[in-house]
Structure 1
Amino acid sequence: MARLWLLIALCIVCAQAYADKKVYRWKDQNGNWVYSDTPRKGAKEVKINTNFLTMPATDTSVLTSSQSPSGQAYKAAIIAPNHKQTLRDNTGSVYVSGQITPRFAKDFTVQLYLNGKPTGPKQHTVTFALRNVPRGEHSLQLMVFNGKNEIVTKSDETIFYLHKASVNN
């Protein structure tokens, strides 16, 4: 059934492209509908109403920015964990997600800082997995760098608290 609708949609698109041509349909030996611009014996002409095929214009200005990436005002934010959130993980694993707006430029890199120290090398994604984080209060901050290794923007500090089960329990 899905193939039938795909075929119908393809025929409609073809019909719109060749508005002066006619489209015919017939059943093949397997009982499937066949659409073509060439009539066959037993084929019937399909009347196509192209008024329903018009689509409103779409604003594509975001795809062609006249402003260079370095001229834009970028913002970085840590979206997980939340500010002042308490996390409970006995292994000390903390998963951090960030967000860069507007769209992350191709040559940008991001580095995560835990308590003012980098957690690893710069990377091209804004998701991080930290391991063996000790219990207590910690701060996180994202820094975004351009291709020249200059800081483009940095996030506000996010504070989180990591709880672990006590060794005595």
Structure 2
Amino acid sequence: MSASLEFARLRVRPRGLLLCLLMLIGQPAIAEVYTYIDAEGNRVYTDQPRRNAKKVDIAPSNQMNSAPRKSSQASSAKPRPGPLFRYQLLRILAPEPDSTVRDVQGNLIVTVTNDPQLQQGHRYRLLLDGSAHGEFGRSPVFSLTNIDRGTHQLSIEIVDEFGRVAERTPNQPFHMMRISLSQKRQAQPCKTEEYGVRLECPIKDKPPEEESSILPFL
């Protein structure tokens, strides 16, 4: 047999042809198959192309890929929200409604109260003029700084762990007056012990103490 892979020469019989094709399909190294009629009239199958040889079309293998394995651990389902919890009371304690706040730097402390107490997973959110101000938190005390002069609206929300608003106060107005230090000092004069304590009473402006006119005894 030649170096090329040639298969047994067969006379054209259906049974022999079928057997030969099965042998060819079973060869893992064969990429293409050719056939021709030799000088003795026999049909020959080979993997080497030759003159007057025809390429044999072979159907692709019907080998099935193994099905992917399913994960043994089921994906954890997210908890579904239950009924929305309602509070009987949510109110801003300070500043009082329609109050005037006088602060040089525009600072303000806001405090709230609610009943019943804040539930697990619930947080407060402060809204200033309709926009969220600062981060969510569980503290009922908020510190605001550098608020512009003029009238503003305050509101407090309680938000649950699913982002739903459980309760919200109505908008509550307040007025910010950012007076100068001199105006504040005129409205409330500085006392001796307040120099270096109050912002509008710097220590450099403290008047000198009067010397005692009583001479000490010799």
Match of 2:178 in 1: 164
1:100 and 2:114 are equivalent in the alignment: yes
**Offset at 1:167?**
9.4
Normalised to the residue count of structure 2, the TM-score between the two structures is: 0.43
Match of 1:119 in 2: 133
Unpaired stretches in structure 2, ≥5 consecutive residues? 1-81, 184-218
Q: 1:87, 1:162 within 8 Å by CA — same for their partners in 2?
A: yes
Normalised to the residue count of structure 1, the TM-score between the two structures is: 0.55
Match of 1:133 in 2: 147
Q: 1:74, 1:152 within 8 Å by CA — same for their partners in 2?
A: no
Please point out which of 157, 160, 163 is paired with 1:149.
Answer: 163
The aligned amino acid for 1:100 is N
The aligned amino acid for 1:138 is H
The aligned amino acid for 2:126 is L
**Offset at 1:72?**
3.9
**Distance across 2 between alignment mates of 1:104 and 1:134:** 31
What are the superposed Cα offsets for residues 15-55 of structure 1, whole Å, 9 maximum, x if unpaired? xxxxxxxxxxxxxxxxxxxxxxxxxxxxxxxxxxxxxxxxx
1:86 and 2:118 are equivalent in the alignment: no
Per the alignment, do residues 71 and 135 of structure 1 end up closer, same or farther by CA in structure 2, a change over 3 Å counting? closer
Structure with the greater alpha carbon radius of gyration: 2
Q: 1:76, 1:101 within 8 Å by CA — same for their partners in 2?
A: yes
**Distance across 2 between alignment mates of 1:109 and 1:101:** 14
What are the superposed Cα offsets for residues 103-143 of structure 1, whole Å, 9 maximum, x if unpaired? 11121011000001111111111110000001110000001
Greater shift, 145-154 or 159-168, is seen at 159-168
SS in 1 for 2:137: coil
Percent of residue pairs identical: 23
Alignment of 1:1-150 (within 5 A): 70-150=84-164
Per the alignment, do residues 74 and 122 of structure 1 end up closer, same or farther by CA in structure 2, a change over 3 Å counting? farther
Q: 2:122, 2:138 within 8 Å by CA — same for their partners in 1?
A: yes
**Distance across 2 between alignment mates of 1:94 and 1:69:** 35
**Distance across 1 between alignment mates of 2:132 and 2:102:** 23
Unpaired stretches in structure 1, ≥5 consecutive residues? 1-67
Q: 2:86, 2:166 within 8 Å by CA — same for their partners in 1?
A: no
**Distance across 2 between alignment mates of 1:87 and 1:120:** 20
**Distance across 2 between alignment mates of 1:150 and 1:74:** 17
**Distance across 1 between alignment mates of 2:132 and 2:182:** 32
The aligned amino acid for 2:172 is T
Q: 1:145, 1:152 within 8 Å by CA — same for their partners in 2?
A: yes
